[in-house]
Amino acid sequence: MNPSPVAPSPTSDHPAAPGTSPRRRAPREQLDRAEVTVRYARAVARLAALQRPSGAVAGEVGWNIMLVAQYVILCRVVGHAIPTDRAARIERAIERAARPDGGWGMHPQSQSYLFHTLLAYVALRLLGRAPDDPRVVAARRWILGHGGVTRVPTWGRVWLALLGLYPWDHVQPIAPELWLQPAASPAHPRRFYCHLRLIYLGLSYVYGSRLTADPCARLDAIKRELYPGGYDAAPFAAHRHEVASTDLYEPTGVTLRALLDGVRRVEGRVPAALRRRALARAMDHIRFEFESTDYVCLSPVNGMLFCLALFAEDPYHPDLPRALAGIEYWVWEDDDAGMRIAGARSDIWDTSFAVQALCEGPRVDHTAQLVTRMCDWLARAQLRADIPGGAEHYRAPARGGWGFADERHPWPVSDCTAEAIEALLAADRLRLGPDIAPDLAAAVGFILARQNDDGGFGSYEARRGSPLLRRFNPAEIYGSCMIEESYTECTASCVRGLVAARAELGPSAPRRLRRAIDRAVRRGARRLLAAQERSGAWAGFWGIHYTYGTFFAVSALRAAGLPATHAALLRARDWLLEHQRVDGGWGESHEGLLHGRPAPLPPGDPSLVVQTAWAALTLLELRAGANARVDQAIERAIGLLAARQRADGSWPREPATGVFFNTAVLDYDLYRQVFPTWALARFSARVTRSPG
């Protein structure tokens, strides 16, 4: 039972709808500030318990069963036996994710998707589940009741085609010849967002080689089950451009459809020598990605596709065992929840936020040792050199950056670098910094190279492709994935990181560097101001959604020198106040991502501690003058966080608040520990000071 001596003070309701009256406010209760410090100390102790031997703190980034199902298919294609105990854990994970209607979704709060349900169905059958198993029967009923296999998105067709369960000739063409274009071509894959670029690199190889598993009785049985009217009679051609309504997020436009049809018509006339040359070029890029990442790859999505490409080139390829072992980097596995493959690791990201949180709070037991060990690891995780051969494989310079994952993953990111800078400098001010100093000038150079022409910042790279490429998204179930964008969160983190670095470098820094930082900060701040919506909020891209974007934007504008009384910040403050819920917290649904507007949780659902922490941190940033309304909102939010905390210092699991490609909601497990801890820290440090 959760202890809750600090009760949230329900003094504000949901914003009243037009033409209605707000509900009567309950009497306000005094927040016990000493108890908040106790709760903060418990939260710090919990973080200390989670710290790894390396010094990092990191949580699982949960997604869905897509990756583990693809792992089963990969193993079947290449002949890699899955041990019995692991197979049982895979089944356990798939079982746990099943929805009541018999299908599987993009995430726990989503509807069922044909794509995920088909992958889960095939994986369960390959693992030995019988066709009359209740879970299998329910999934097959759902599949056939929602249009059948021929309406699965293109990526699903590829994974089925690898097993001979879909004809390659009716998969949307993914021609490897794209990699033979001159680098200056506006449609060269080097211009795509790096995740999409590498996914399509792998897809183009398996498509171009027409890799197909050896047939067997089980695959023949699965084919009969999925095509009850007969495989040869299935309407593949009629549904070539059709995707199930359950799955479709961004339909292929008329121009893209015409291009795909044109490629399909000429593909049969592509000379075999040209196809071999294209596959060789693609394989050169694949080998580079394996070798430059120690075989863990940018993500498990492209990593598994690259394993299939190696097998297609040579079933006895000497690098295949090492490539398969690289997938283990992404695996989370236990007997309770089963085997999961995370879409990302967040060690550097989580640790950077944890350090900043602890540096703001009062010094309690564990703080000094916890922060010092985190920073020692964080400083070692900086990339001190560029990736040899990176330029010819379209890798942006990496020197000075930090990645999202850990020191083993050499794909640095702009906002991860900025947050790591802030964390290390904050710790250094408290004399808790690392033994090894970060290369601050190199980090600044890395961040500056990610700024786009509009003043905003991309993530892994600056934008390379024309915005026109957005019209040619082939992914169907994902959005905003064609090119690097100017993300609110990346822009905000980079502005803050550059401001912190400028202060640390001081007047002794080269004049040219100081001027470049000043210009980048001004342009980034202008971009953030221009991105603010009329409501006063900022839309997030990597989290749900307006609460997240506003949290980042406000902190950056304050760091850039805007006073809390600036008109834009007052509008942000008012937006947050208007959206505080009756229980004192905040709560947005993932549905807002799908429609591009705020989507509050249903009134009966409790607020989310992570989003409440973001809002509380933002309002604490905006305290200016005597404003009882703001202070009351903050106290109610902190009261909710304190009341929800469990005896061991943790907070309970709740709906996910991370996101990727608009629809891929991600559950950052450590968010529910780090951000509430940070809110308690900031409240403890600032609430008794005179605001300003």
What are the catalytic residues? 415
Q: Which residues pair with 338 in a beta bridge?
A: 334
Q: Are 592 and 599 in contact (CB under 8 A)?
A: yes
Measure Cα distances from 425 to 420, 492, 592 in Å.
9, 17, 36
Measure Cα distances from 606 to 28, 37, 270, 655 in Å.
19, 24, 58, 11
The CA distance from 587 to 610, in Å, is: 9
Query: Can you tell me whether residue 339 is helix, strand or coil?
Result: strand
Helix (H) or strand (E) holding 630: helix 628-644
Query: Can you tell me whether residue 423 is helix, strand or coil?
Result: helix
The angle that helices 440-448 and 488-505 make with each other, rounded to 10 degrees, is 150
Measure Cα distances from 609 to 10, 582, 619, 653, 691 in Å.
15, 14, 15, 9, 24
Residue 508: CB atoms within 10 A of its CB come to 6
Helix (H) or strand (E) holding 664: strand 664-668
Q: Are 14 and 582 in contact (CB under 8 A)?
A: yes
The CA distance from 138 to 143, in Å, is: 9
Which residue type occupies 475?
Answer: A
Query: Can you tell me whether residue 681 is helix, strand or coil?
Result: helix
Residues 6+ apart with CB under 8 A from 235: 150
DSSP assignment of 22-49: PPPPPPP----HHHHHHHHHHHHHHHHH
The CA distance from 398 to 381, in Å, is: 12
The CA distance from 423 to 302, in Å, is: 31
For the chain, give the number of residues. 692
Nearest to 492 by CA among 540, 433, 545, 443: 540
Cα dihedral value 440, 442, 445, 446, nearest 10: -100
Q: Are 304 and 310 in contact (CB under 8 A)?
A: no
Classify each residue of 559-588 as buried b or exposed e, where b means 16 or more C-beta atoms within 10 Å of its C-beta.
Answer: bbebebebebbebbbbbbbebbbbbbbbbb
Query: Could you say which DSSP state residue 474 is in?
Result: -
Q: Which residues pair with 402 in a beta bridge?
A: 413
Nearest to 433 by CA among 383, 497, 368, 384: 368
Which residue type occupies 363?
Answer: R
Which 3-state string (H, E, C) describes 280-309?
Answer: HHHHHHHHHHHHHCCCCCCCHHHHHHHHHH
